[in-house]
Amino acid sequence: EVQLVESGGGLAQPGGSLRLSCAASGFTFDDLAITWFRQVSGKEQEGLACIKSNDGFTYYADSIRGRFTISKDNAKNTVYLEMKRLKPDDTGTYYCAAAPHYGGFYCGFYDMDYWGKGTLVNVSE
């Protein structure tokens, strides 16, 4: 069974940075596509960025492109989300999710099979 554990959330000031981590276990890491989502109070869950663990293909939502960077460390079975120039609107719970990519070219924000429990990000003075 795939387990995903997020970490790295916390309090950040506007304009600051945080790096979130998603540690995966229970599955061959190279076979996974991993996606970061966030849930902001009062809004629908939002897909942010995804990465394929075998070839590093990435895809970003327009809302965070240029500020957030997704990356991976296959040796650690971990995916990261580097968040820069944080805004109060970035406050929310951040989740990583995964699904097998089955050798496809792309990754996306749909059909996730596994979810972590989330890590809270609070951007305020």
Could you read off the pLDDT of 51-77 as tens digits, one per residue? 999 999 999 999 999 999 999 999 999
- What's residue 84's pLDDT? 98
The closest of 101, 110, 111, 115 to 56, measured between CA atoms, is 101
Residue 24 and residue 96: Cα distance in Å, rounded? 10
The residues pairing with 60 across neighbouring beta strands, listed in sequence order, are: 49
CA dist 103 and 82 (Å) reads 26
Which pLDDT does position 18 carry in this prediction? 98
Instruction: For 90-120, write each residue's pLDDT tens digit.
Output: 999 999 999 999 888 899 999 999 999 999 9
Place of tokens 């979130």: 20
